[in-house]
Amino acid sequence: MADFVPRDKKHAVVYQIYIRSFCDSNGDGIGDLPGITSKLDYLAKLGIDYLWITPFYPSPMRDNGYDISDYTAVDPTYGTMDDFDELVAEAKKRHIGIMLDMVLCHTSRDHPWFQKAIAGDKEYQQYYFLKDGCNSKGPGDPGEPPTNWKAAFGGSAWEWEPHIGKWYLHLHDVSQPDLNWDNSKIRKEVENVVLFWKKRGVAGFRFDVINFVSKPAKFVDDTEGAGRPLFADGPHIHEYLQELVSTTGIDGMLTVGEMASTTLDNCIKYSNPDNHELAETFSFHHLKVDYANGDKWALKEADIAKLRGILYTWQRGMQEGGGWNALFWDNHDQPRAVTRFGGRAGEGEPNSDWEHVGKMLATTSFFLEGTPYIYEGDELGMTNAHYAKIDQYNDVESLNFYQILLKKGETEDEALHVLSERSRDNGRTPMQWSDGHAAGFTTGKPWLASPANYTSINAEAEVDKPGSIFEYYRNLVHLRHELEVLATGKVTCYEPGDEAPKVLLFERQIGDIRVVVTTSFDQKPCTVDASKLNVGELEPLVFNYKEAPQIQGDGTIALKPYEACAWITKGALNK
Ligand code: NOJ
Ligand code: CA
């Protein structure tokens, strides 16, 4: 078969698969590569262009594969290299490109490089950050950690390694030592990893916390306490990315960087094609609007005005600077957006809010400028897990923070409530294929339990059902492919007026074609001031209630709870 060329980033839609939870082919309760291959027809029906698959490389699975012990093999839990090659070939037949997750900021402790380092091999010790403690009384005495930096999953970012009498840096879990990219040998190693997979026919890459790889020249205490500003978007980050991209020849492929605690200016640099770094970037500021005082583990109602401000700033800034956004609400690190922005919508039986919220979120991400990402289950309206007991959780971060919350004085019930809203396991429950055993995900015992609503929220119930969330997504994917205005049209963001405090209002435009979009995050009705936009001269394109909202004579639009609508220049669909 002649090689197909997947769509470019402006016209493409990416679907993310958390392999552990997508489809289990052999009944061991864990999703795997053959499971993904068996569902390619489902994905082709949805119409997506790329599949980003989370790590399936050998790993002790302390962080479910983001702790890699061998970069160029397949963990037997997930299948074999032949299974991988088959997946790539079968996906190509359906014009789907595979994107792989490159976790190059850290390895697992079990990686042979780290094992050699702690066995005393001086060359491999240069692969990591190994430092003496502060206030040590001499060899063998740890003293205190070299800096006050905190690890993302709780506790100090430093761990004492008694074998060699040094502290090692781990910005995530203690089992994930950070690689030293200032050592050119590491940059050569990661180049080889990328080339290995590129040669096997992949179409793109997602780079895990890639903006943390360039550490500051001097390791000093962070006066804010967390250390993040010191190691995010570090001093050589652009240089290292440019080097990796040029030595591996991945410029022009669909590459996306996960940019934690980043800035707009840096993301413009990462994703402006003139810089030859990445195609696009994930940023996370819009998903922190429900953190009280910036703390993920302190609950607060989502501040939609703030969300709007952040999305508008990034839309305007990326457009002006020639950068490109990856657009998403969910991934394997986030609670489900349907629950997060829709209250208890979808708990127990699906209700009308649940369906409206799912479609409203999709409308927002598919009509903004950038590449939309669908996370497995978004297209069904999958919800949070609603677990009631701590032993139902698996995620290392959730288990660590549960203990931290208890130590802070919260009761078990309070801590469980926080987890039920914030745990990453909310986004990791098995894909809901049917109302059968284990939601049709496995014939065995699933590694993580499904929420009870799988009996009604599932693919079997939705794929061919007129008006389902699945059908809505399928239409949006099609429009992304067909309507140039959605791919390359200019974006202009508007304030929706005082009567619509929880609403987004924006326009896309190319030549004489305009699309006006409004999406409500409000559970109450509201009225949007679109008087400057002449929406009356357009025609409805997509909407999430039975009928499109009416435009009043004064140009205002009355929106129902969680209503979304896009209007387009009359006749544009046939052009
Ligand atoms: C981001 C990944 O998405 C997350 O799942 C992982 O735990 C951390 N990076 C560390 O690799
Ligand atoms: Ca399996």
Using the mean position of ligand 1's atoms as its centre, give its distance from the Cα of residue 205 in Å: 15
Protein residue whose Cα sits closest to atom 3 of ligand 1: 333
User: Please, which residues have CB within 8 angstroms of residue 218's CB and are 6 or more apart in sequence?
Assistant: none
Burial class of residue 291 (count of CB atoms within 10 Å of its CB; 0-12, 13-18, 19+): middle
Query: Is 258 a known active-site residue?
Result: yes
Q: How far is the CA of 70 from the centre of ligand 2 (A)?
A: 20
Q: Closest-lying ligand to the alpha carbon of 428?
A: 1
Question: How many CA atoms are closer than 13 Å to the CA of 504, on its beta-carbon side?
Answer: 31
Q: How far is the CA of 430 from the centre of ligand 2 (A)?
A: 12
Q: Which atom of ligand 1 is nearest to the CA of 333?
A: 5
Closest atom of ligand 1 to CA, residue 103: 11
Ligand nearest to the CA of 103: 1
Ligand 1 centroid vs 398 CA: distance in angstroms?
13
Cα(88) to centroid(ligand 2), Å:
18
* Minimum-distance ligand 1 atom for the alpha carbon of 106: 11
C-alpha 442 to ligand 2 mean position (Å): 8
Q: Active-site residue 498, yes or no?
A: no
Query: Does residue 337 sit in helix, strand or coil?
Result: helix
pTM for the structure as a whole: 0.97
Q: Whose CA is nearest to atom 5 of ligand 1?
A: 333
Q: What is the pLDDT of residues 62-103, one digit of tens each?
A: 999 999 999 999 999 999 999 999 999 999 999 999 999 999
Burial of 126 (0-12, 13-18, 19+ CB in 10 A): middle
Residue 2, pLDDT score = 55
pLDDT tens sequence for the chain (575 residues): 457 889 999 999 999 999 999 999 999 999 999 999 999 999 999 999 999 999 999 999 999 999 999 999 999 999 999 999 999 999 999 999 999 999 999 999 999 999 999 999 999 999 999 999 999 998 889 999 999 999 999 999 999 999 999 999 999 999 999 999 999 999 999 999 999 999 999 999 999 999 999 999 999 998 875 556 788 999 999 999 999 999 999 999 999 999 999 999 999 999 999 999 999 999 999 999 999 999 999 999 999 999 999 999 999 999 999 999 999 999 999 999 999 998 755 555 456 689 999 999 999 999 999 999 999 999 999 999 999 999 999 999 999 999 999 999 999 999 999 999 999 999 999 999 999 999 999 999 999 999 999 999 999 999 999 999 999 999 999 999 999 999 999 999 999 999 999 999 999 999 999 999 999 999 999 999 999 999 999 999 999 999 999 999 999 999 999 999 999 999 998 76
* Ligand located closest to 257 CA: 1
**Which residue from 56, 62, 208 has its CB within 8 A of the most atoms of ligand 1, so it is best to mutate?**
208
Which residue has the CA at smallest separation from atom 11 of ligand 1?
Answer: 66
Could you tell me the sign of the dihedral formed by the alpha carbons of 306, 543, 500, 421, in that order?
Answer: negative
Cβ proximity of 280 and 324 under 8 Å: yes
Ligand number nearest CA of 151 is 1
Instruction: Give the integer Cα–Cα distance in Å for 54 and 545.
Output: 34
Of all ligands present, the nearest one to the C-alpha of 447 is: 2
- The alpha carbon of 28 and the centre of ligand 2 are apart by a number of angstroms equal to 5
Mutate to test the pocket of ligand 1, among 17, 59, 100, 103 (most ligand atoms within 8 A of CB): 103
Residue nearest to atom 6 of ligand 1 (CA): 66
Catalytic entry in 63, 83, 101, 208: 208
Q: Give the ligand 1 atom nearest the CA of 258.
A: 1
Site to probe by mutation for ligand 1, drawn from 18, 54, 63 as the one with most ligand atoms within 8 Å of Cβ, is: 63
Pairing of the two strands 158-161 and 166-169:
antiparallel
Residue 129 half-sphere exposure toward CB, CA atoms < 13 A: 26
Distance from residue 499's CA to the centre of ligand 1 (Å): 39
Atom 8 of ligand 1: nearest residue by CA position: 66
Q: Of ligand 1's atoms, which has the minimum distance to the CA of residue 67?
A: 11
Closest atom of ligand 1 to 424 CA is 5
CA distance 62 to 528: 48
Q: What residues does ligand 1 touch, defined as CB less than 6 Å away?
A: 63, 66, 103, 172, 208-209, 258, 332-333
Ligand 1 pocket: which of 54, 333, 395, 426 to mutate (most atoms within 8 A of CB): 333
Catalytic residue among 101, 161, 258, 529: 258
Q: What is the mean pLDDT of the chain?
A: 95
For 389, list phi and psi in degrees, rounded to 5. Answer: -125, 150
Paired with 51 in beta bridges are: 15, 98
Report pLDDT for 138. 85
Task: For residues 96 and 43, give the distance between their C-alpha atoms in angstroms, rounded to a whole number.
Answer: 9
pLDDT of residue 222: 87
Contact 21, 376 (CB under 8 A): yes
Query: Looking at residue 3, what is its pLDDT?
Result: 73
**Cα(78) to centroid(ligand 2), Å:** 6
